[in-house]
Amino acid sequence: MAGLQQTNSEMILLSWVRQSTRNYPQVNVTNFTTSWSDGLAFNALLHSHRPDLFDWNAVASQPSPVQRLDHAFNIARQHLGIEKLLDPE
């Protein structure tokens, strides 16, 4: 039962992320691993809820996934109080 509950919770969270990022054509979240590796999904999620914090087009056009991930982690920490638990590299 615990495994089923976790799977259900993950599906609900994934659905929420997909709904939150649906207006960002470059973003297609299908899982919690590879869908996040280019940094676009995390930035889109932040931007969808706080578009005043940064210019989406400027971030989306950054050439490096590490730059985009670093940007998202910094915005989350500075403006939303979410600590950086992972290293973009």
Is 26 inside any structural domain?
Answer: no
Residues in the chain: 89
Cβ-Cβ contacts under 8 Å for 36 (sequence gap 6 or more): 29, 42
Per the structure, the count of domains in the chain is: 1
Q: If you write DSSP's letter for every residue of 13-51 in order, what string do you get? A: HHHHHHHHTTT-TT----SSSGGGTTSHHHHHHHHHH-G
Is 16 inside any structural domain?
Answer: no
In whole angstroms, give the CA distance from residue 51 to residue 43: 10
Q: What is the CATH number of the domain that holds 84?
A: 1.10.418.10
Is 24 inside any structural domain?
Answer: no
- The tens place of each residue's pLDDT in the chain, 89 residues long, gives 555 565 788 899 999 999 999 999 999 999 988 999 999 999 999 999 999 999 999 999 999 999 999 999 999 999 999 887 766 66
